[in-house]
Amino acid sequence: MIDIQSLDLFYGEFHALKNVSMFLPEKSITAFIGPSGCGKSTLLRTLNRMNDMIKTVKIKGTVTIHGNNIYEPEVNVELLRKRVGMVFQQPNPFPKSIYDNVAYGPRIHGTKKKSELDDIVEKSLRDAALWDEVKGDLKKSAYGLSGGQQQRLCIARALAVNPEVLLMDEPTSALDPISTLKIEELIQQLKEKYTIVIVTHNMQQAGRVSDQTAFFLNGEMVEFSETDTIFSNPVDQRTEDYVTGRFG
Amino acid sequence: MNAFKRKKNWYSSDRVMPKVLLGFSLISILTTFAIVFILLKESITFFSSVSVYDFFTGLKWEPLFAEPKFGVVPLILGTVMITFFSSIVALPVGLGSAIYLSEYAPDRVRTIVKPILEILAGIPTIVYGFFALTFVTPILQKIIPSTEVFNALSASIVVGIMIIPMISSLSEDAMMAVPRALRNGAYAVGSTKLEVAIKVVVPAALSGIIASFVLGLSRAVGETMIVALAAGLQPRISFNPLESIETLTAYIVQVSAGDIQYGSVEYLSIYAVGITLFAITLGMNLLANYISSKFREDYGG
Ligand SMILES: Nc1ncnc2c1ncn2[C@@H]1O[C@H](COP(=O)(O)OP(=O)(O)OP(=O)(O)O)[C@@H](O)[C@H]1O
Ligand SMILES: [Mg+2]
């Protein structure tokens, strides 16, 4: 479904992604792993063009989603980001009510009817496994929630615009183990409806949640295959060193 | 002998310097108290010959007539009118320029525009005053011939221009304090730049923005030279901005610059007007403080 072909990305002179090619099938979970600074977040951001906001970025190669090249000039970036949602490392809810956080996306995309918004908010919160905890407090500020709840709220906010793809950049690195576990369970459930890409520094997490795993080093994709293969039987020595913790 | 023994330099002592610095800050506090004290004292003398009720409800301000009348309502109305019309100019333009500077302007533009705004804020108000009188008023008279030479509108427009930099810069500070992460969250669900600015950044910075509005308006309330020069010295109850009016501040200038006998009731009236003005601006500043502290967003995770 997502097809990355010979992708190079430069921050000014700095070559941050080197000739990356990979195919992410529909309704699968892909993990990006690799040491800090290897380009995981950068690659993730190329999939919803969040890199556009960084002035120095230059991109070569193509990324197609369902056969549509998302880097063609006539692409509507807002529409792309509606279909390719993103969840960030730090929970970043808006300083608004829980309800308004989730309803934000549908509202800017034109849903006005209260009953429709109510339905979307409930459905998204249910899908993000947060509904039962907040259903009585929808009007309360999102800042009253715990970090883990805030992160699930951010997932609900992303789901509310009905995306096909969900990009998650270290979504649990700011959370405690129990919240982390909840989010991991959630990711597994979301796989039924969404294509998911997750960046993580947590090897166990990659092993637990993902179907395939890509290992990056210095902007290069060293190895990409079934998660089991990457962790138990990698082809490249560097991958093996990294996943067994013998790296650097 | 203790190697850590304190050297006896009185000026480097952490015990002496704080006291000296405290003395400096006391100067401004004491001055404020002295001003309030004098305002109160002289106003009390004034109110022994004019009743407080008549002062605050009287509709005629005729201090120099044979039978003087001290009804402050026309002056308050003049001040309110200037504040109202200047805010129509300053609030949208100030907020708009803050949105532009914080959300759209490339760094290069920002580094040029910000100092210019600061220069604008540093121009003496008397200069703004004759700008209103000699530039804005003639233009208004061309557009609407019935405009008087001294009129509230011209002064209001220029007072508005004067407070734009303040509103713009304080609002921009509030908007720049909104974390990048909130903007990213909004972009990630497909927001346009404008939607991010209007629906996320402005609401998140609202307390700071409103505080900047209130502070700006309190500047308009206290503005003196522009209104004294361009709005006239005609205390009257009028809702027509093309007529000349008089504000609280302009009256104080009028009396201070005139040759009214020291100690007379007319003379004392400036203290009563002064304390009214003081109360209004103090109230507004407290309100601005209250808004920005009470509703401060901590963007806490
Ligand atoms: N805005 C930017 N401007 C210039 N260089 C950048 C920018 N963002 C990232 N880089 C550089 O690109 C490289 C890849 O960064 P990226 O954030 O993608 O790494 P990462 O794999 O996500 O690391 P981490 O695990 O620490 O999040 C790094 O060397 C980084 O310094
Ligand atoms: Mg990263």
Best residue among A9, A18, A20, A42 to mutate for probing ligand 1, ranked by most atoms within 8 Å of CB: A42
- Cβ of residue B298 closer than 8 Å to a chain A Cβ: yes
Residues B21, B141 within the same domain: no
Residues B18, B111 within the same domain: no
Residues B136, B248 within the same domain: yes
Which tens digits make up the pLDDT trace of B20-51? 888 999 999 999 899 999 999 999 999 999 99
> Which residue, by CA, sits nearest to atom 9 of ligand 1?
A42
Q: Whose structure tokens read 């249910």? A: A126
A2-90+164-243 — its CATH code?
A: 3.40.50.300
Distance, in Å, from the CA atom of B216 to the CA atom of B214, rounded to the nearest integer, reads 5
Nearest to B184 among A80, A92, A93 (CB): A92
Question: Which DSSP category does B261 fall into?
Answer: P
Q: What tens-digit pLDDT sequence spans chain B (301 residues)?
A: 677 776 666 666 677 888 888 899 999 999 989 999 999 999 999 999 999 999 999 999 998 888 889 999 999 999 999 999 999 999 999 999 999 999 999 889 989 988 888 888 889 999 999 999 999 999 999 999 999 999 999 999 999 999 999 999 999 999 999 999 999 999 999 999 999 999 999 999 998 999 999 999 999 999 999 999 999 999 999 999 999 999 999 999 998 888 788 888 889 999 999 999 999 999 988 988 888 777 665 554 3
Contact B301, B182 (CB under 8 A): no
Question: Which DSSP category does B124 fall into?
Answer: -
Q: What is the DSSP string of B76-104?
A: HHHHHHHHHHHHHHHHHHHHHHHHIIIII
Strand partners, A197: A30, A167
Is B35 a domain residue? yes
Residues B222, B162 within the same domain: yes
Residues B35, B95 within the same domain: no
ipTM of the shown complex: 0.93
Q: The whole model's pTM is what?
A: 0.86
Residues B258, B186 within the same domain: yes
- Cβ of residue A174 closer than 8 Å to a chain B Cβ: yes
Domain with B270 in it: 72-295
